[in-house]
């Protein structure tokens, strides 16, 4: 009489079970293109003025407004509304605001906007024509300028809205390359990421005067007291609300040497490559809270956002977008460690060429709260793309039945093989 004795599961069975189980539990994420600079991307809106879409900013729910998407190649901030509550994304009477660049005498040049931020407070007052109001949005450019824009609501409910932002700071002569912008948690300062030869974080008060706090935002990845080629430098800065409350996140990219100036950083030019990125978290005073372990997954990172509930397996995680290869990395906020890439239904990392900004919708008038909106500059930053990424649908019961049937089949095959080997 032969008595069946279960053997150790063979490798092929274990790998098959893991594959089936993984397919059952891993969230598949879906990319949808909403606006593009041409019709090759299948987007619902074709906007030829959206070139190298970069930063994204919105107002909180209940404050109306628009998606402000920076068009680096056209020198504008492009506005969109909707994609929530059954309404498609659309444009209204506020479509473009021109962002200025450096001033040359009496002439203000076209800007190359990168970062943008909404100002929810009553500070940063500016005057534009007959309007004197707190700035609603602030912008930085990769040529080292800061500008601001505001609006005035009339008694009849209409708005006076300038077509141009106002130049407030010009550091182009110092070689600054402002790649990112954040509002301080208490709304009384702005912080900018300078990816120029004097790389670092600069801070400005509500009068647009630079302020300095010794030791604030010290680069935890620097190899010297002064920036040098090959070091990591701030590529962006954003204020986010996470498990630690409001804090500032700084993605770092690797710098390269200026061939014309030995020993100096080539401003505005990062080095892309697997593992060439870092991430640090600071408090409101600029004191370091954490450096995050990317496990070699960062590659010239720029966009950062915390995922809300409803974003599948990565709900509550920190998401970091890589400009270098277009992937998005999920981090565990409890361990400050990278988990994996955001992947599609085939298990491949989603990759969006020229990926820059990440921003979740507000769930009211500007995008779905569980959708992550992105901005990108494909084709070597010569084209523009704005879209969203959502968690795919949970498998239907029939799909789960197929998963279970697969496991049962694998187990049955293994049992028969084991029985034959015991005869």
Classify 35-391 by CATH class: mainly beta
Contact by Cβ (8 Å): 342, 327: yes
Per-residue pLDDT of the chain (423 residues; tens, 9 = 90+): 333 333 444 444 434 444 444 444 489 999 999 999 999 999 999 999 999 999 999 999 999 999 999 999 999 999 999 999 999 999 999 999 999 999 987 788 999 999 999 999 999 999 999 999 999 999 999 999 999 999 999 999 899 999 999 999 999 999 999 999 999 999 999 999 999 999 999 999 999 999 999 999 999 999 888 899 999 999 999 999 999 899 999 999 999 999 999 999 999 999 999 999 999 999 999 999 999 999 999 999 999 999 999 999 999 999 999 999 999 999 999 999 999 999 999 999 999 999 999 999 999 999 999 999 999 999 999 999 999 999 998 555 555 455 555 555 655 655 665 555 444
* Domain range summary for the chain, segments of one domain joined by +: 1-27+397-423, 35-391
| Phi (first) and psi of residue 142, to 5 degrees | -75, 5
pTM of this structure: 0.88
């Amino acid at each position: 009489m032969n008595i069946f004795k279960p053997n150790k599961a063979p490798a092929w069975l274990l790998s098959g079970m893991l594959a089936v189980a993984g397919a059952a539990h891993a969230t598949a994420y879906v990319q949808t293109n909403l606006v593009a600079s041409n019709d090759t991307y299948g987007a619902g809106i074709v906007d030829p003025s959206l070139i190298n879409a970069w930063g994204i900013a919105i107002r909180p729910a209940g404050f109306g407004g628009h998606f402000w998407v920076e068009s680096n190649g056209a020198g504008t901030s492009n506005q969109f509304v909707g994609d929530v509550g059954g309404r498609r994304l659309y444009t209204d009477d506020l479509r473009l605001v021109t962002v200025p660049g450096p001033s040359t005498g009496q002439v203000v040049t076209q800007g190359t906007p990168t970062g943008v931020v909404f100002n929810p407070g009553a500070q940063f007052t500016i005057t534009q024509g007959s309007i004197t109001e707190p700035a609603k949005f602030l912008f930085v450019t990769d040529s080292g300028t800061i500008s601001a824009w505001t609006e005035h609501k009339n008694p009849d409910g209409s708005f006076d809205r300038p077509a141009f932002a106002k130049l407030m700071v010009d550091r182009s002569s110092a070689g600054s390359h402002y790649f990112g912008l954040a509002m301080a948690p208490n709304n009384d300062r702005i912080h900018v990421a300078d990816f120029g030869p004097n790389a670092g974080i600069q801070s400005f008060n509500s009068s647009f005067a630079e302020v300095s706090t010794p030791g604030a935002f010290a680069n935890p990845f620097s190899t010297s007291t002064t920036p040098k080629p090959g070091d990591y430098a701030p590529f962006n800065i954003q204020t986010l609300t996470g498990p630690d409350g409001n804090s500032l996140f700084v993605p770092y990219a690797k710098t390269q040497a200026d061939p014309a100036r030995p020993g100096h950083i080539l401003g505005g030019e990062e080095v892309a490559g697997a593992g060439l990125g870092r991430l640090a978290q600071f408090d409101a005073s600029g004191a370091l809270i954490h450096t995050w372990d990317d496990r070699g997954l960062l590659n010239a990172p720029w966009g950062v956002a915390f995922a809300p509930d409803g974003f599948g397996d990565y709900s509550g995680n920190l998401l970091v977008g890589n400009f270098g290869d277009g992937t998005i990395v999920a981090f565990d906020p409890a361990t400050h460690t990278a988990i994996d890439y955001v992947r599609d239904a085939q298990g491949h990392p989603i990759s969006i060429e020229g990926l820059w900004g990440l921003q979740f919708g507000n769930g009211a008038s500007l995008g779905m709260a569980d959708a992550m909106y992105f901005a990108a500059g494909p084709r070597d930053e010569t084209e523009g793309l704005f879209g969203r990424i959502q968690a795919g649908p949970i498998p239907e019961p029939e799909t789960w039945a197929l998963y279970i049937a697969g496991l049962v089949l694998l187990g049955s095959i293994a049992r028969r093989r084991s029985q034959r080997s015991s005869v």
